[in-house]
Chains A and B, each alone.
Chain A
Amino acid sequence: MAKHLTPGRIVLYAALVLMAIYYLLPLYVMLSTSVKTLDDIRGGNLIALPQSITFDAWSKAWSSACTGVECGGMKGFFWNSVKMAVPSVLISTLIGAVNGYVVSMWRFRGSDVLFTLLLVGCFIPFQVVLLPMARLLGELGMANTTSGLVLVHVIYGLAFTTLFFRNFFVTIPDELVKAARIDGAGFWTIFFRILLPISGPIFMVCVIWQFTQIWNDFLFGVVFAAGESQPITVALNNLVNTSTGVKEYNVDMAAAIIAALPTLFVYMVAGRYFVRGLTAGAVKG
């Protein structure tokens, strides 16, 4: 495979590198702006390197920046998002695993229809459920709470998690399960002893997908959890669009990176599964 650098190849690589710069530019601008001083930002320009590096904006973004009336930085909202995302991801993934197992390996009359009905939940615009959900959460006393958000994310995540596991389990040969049933293994035995041990990859895909979706969600957060329990995406939007006082772009950028770090980290360490989740969720959906 000796592809030498012909002029065509050089143009090809140049195009690829240019595109890479295009994708990286906003990240670079966010990072460099976040370590600049305000004077440096006003005096220099967007893509100039910082004259000196300071982490003042980062500590302000984390612990004392104002989001609306409150001035406690992103800290509290970051933990809100953690408290929201971790239980919602775990619960929706576990339920999805069992559901996917049923609709792929234990099909009964009508189960295909029921699965299709369930899938509709992947496609509806959530605007169409916001009003009744807000009312229900209010009546349950869960309006503006993190547990209310967990409930919402679990409910509307189930269609996706079921789909992921169903698409994974249908690729497993029927013989495996049939043989186990002849040996007397029941519903749960087959699930726990035979399927779970080989389901590691799909758990990764599903957990990563759900975590990215839920951490990055804005719509449910802004509608169901105003004030103290708002997730970090809502807090970031409030911080950036608060119009009082001097606009501190370095603090905005530091806060944006803080909000992006968990999902970026997941992408960096498990990008393989991330891509697989995107394509699986997409192509089959």
Chain B
Amino acid sequence: MSSSQSQASLSALADRWLPKLVLSPTLLISLVFVYGFIAWTGWLSLTESRLLPQMDFAGLIQYQALFENDRWWTAVANLGIFGGLFIGCTLAVGLFLAVLLDQKIRAEGTLRTIYLYPMALSFIVTGTAWKWMLNPDMGLQKVINDWGFPNFTFDWLVDPDKAIYTVVIAGVWQSSGFVMALFLAGLRGIDDSIIKAAQVDGASLPVIYWRIIIPSLRPVFFSVLLILSHIAIKSFDLVMALTGGGPGTASDVPAIFMYQFAFTRGQLGLGAASAMMMLMTIVAVLVPLMYMETRSAKRG
């Protein structure tokens, strides 16, 4: 009796510290590799480090250099263009597809599979495929030319003013199916009786969607915005594969700027400063969105 009692108290003791023990390696890893490394990068961005890291505090000279660098501002402007168009178009296409698919479609499963498969691909594969499709000599331009429009040109890929838009085209192709899946899941969660009641009142289907259904998808909108802006700010692979940041530096984005200055040009301090700017952008965009998302989820 007493031995089973002491066993029971022993196992109760184990149950008290086991959970903490089990979680601690991950917490330690997170502390070092997420928080510690961010701090390390942050400190590096305040030094004069070039090829080799050196740890003497030098104030904000790297940020000053960054803000005087034209290439950085090209990258920032491109992120603005790409981010805005990518998020807007992906959202529109995804929502449109979800509403269409919600109309009791035959073969819905097949269509959904087709719309969503690009999400399984690497951005490098997507970039490679679209680079070939957008090839100014042998790509889509030639198809249109062969169809009887010999003067049609579509050379955005090699046009410094248009190259960033090709990244939008490929990005929307890859991500819109995913947004469709999120919206469709949201649409399926809506109570049918609300729609039926509105129909009885004589509201037409577009009006019902516009006035009732889409507004009730608010939380989904926030999630989608969260994910898409995250993808946009981090975008690196797609640009690398599609344009390589070119022609010249015309389609540079901050992630490519960071990679090149930190790892191929040996300007560690400047690379670190640009990485910190990316982190701050993410925080500035995501924190308000997350706040609004939790608020609308609570209310909704």
Contacts and interface: CB of A to CB of B under 8 A. Distances in A.
A52 B178 CA distance: 36
A171 interface: no
Contacts of A19: 97, 100, 115
Contact of B143 (A23, A46, A125): A46
B178 A278 contact: yes
30 contacts: A12-B103, A23-B115, A26-B126, A26-B173, A41-B138, A42-B138, A46-B143, A117-B27, A118-B26, A120-B35, A123-B286, A124-B38, A131-B41, A132-B37, A188-B18, A217-B122, A218-B122, A218-B236, A219-B259, A223-B263, A233-B124, A240-B241, A252-B132, A256-B129, A259-B124, A264-B120, A267-B117, A278-B119, A278-B178, A285-B223
Interface in A70-111: 95, 98-99, 102-103, 106, 108, 111
A30 interface: yes
B33 A108 contact: no
A129 B124 contact: no
B174 to A, nearest CB: 10
Nearest to B283: A123
A174 B38 CA distance: 37
B143 A45 contact: yes
Contact of B255 (A125, A252, A266): A125
B120 A266 contact: yes
B143 A47 contact: yes
Interface in B20-49: 20, 22-23, 25-27, 29-30, 33-38, 40-41, 44
Contacts of A259: 122, 124-125
B164 interface: no
Interface of A: 1, 3, 12-13, 15-16, 19-20, 22-27, 29-30, 33, 41-42, 45-47, 95, 98-99, 102-103, 106, 108, 111, 114, 117-118, 120-121, 123-135, 155-156, 158-159, 162, 181, 184, 186-188, 212, 215-219, 222-223, 233, 236-237, 240-241, 249, 252-253, 256, 259-260, 263-264, 266-267, 271, 274-275, 278-279, 282-283, 285
Contact of B30 (A41, A103, A118): A118
A282 B22 contact: no
Chief secondary structure at chain B's binding surface: helix
Contacts of A1: 104
A269 to B, nearest CB: 11
Interface stretch (B155-163, B193-201, B269-277): B269-277
A15 B100 CA distance: 8
B97 to A, nearest CB: 6
A158 B29 contact: yes
Contact of A125 (B177, B182, B234, B240): B234
Interface in B109-124: 111, 113-124
B247 interface: no
A184 B11 contact: yes
A125 B233 contact: yes
Nearest to A115: B23
Contacts of A253: 128-129, 132
Contact of A20 (B115, B123, B263): B115
A127 B143 contact: no
B20 to A, nearest CB: 6
A233 to B, nearest CB: 4
Contact of A264 (B18, B121, B255, B286): B121
A23 B133 CA distance: 13
A95 B40 contact: no
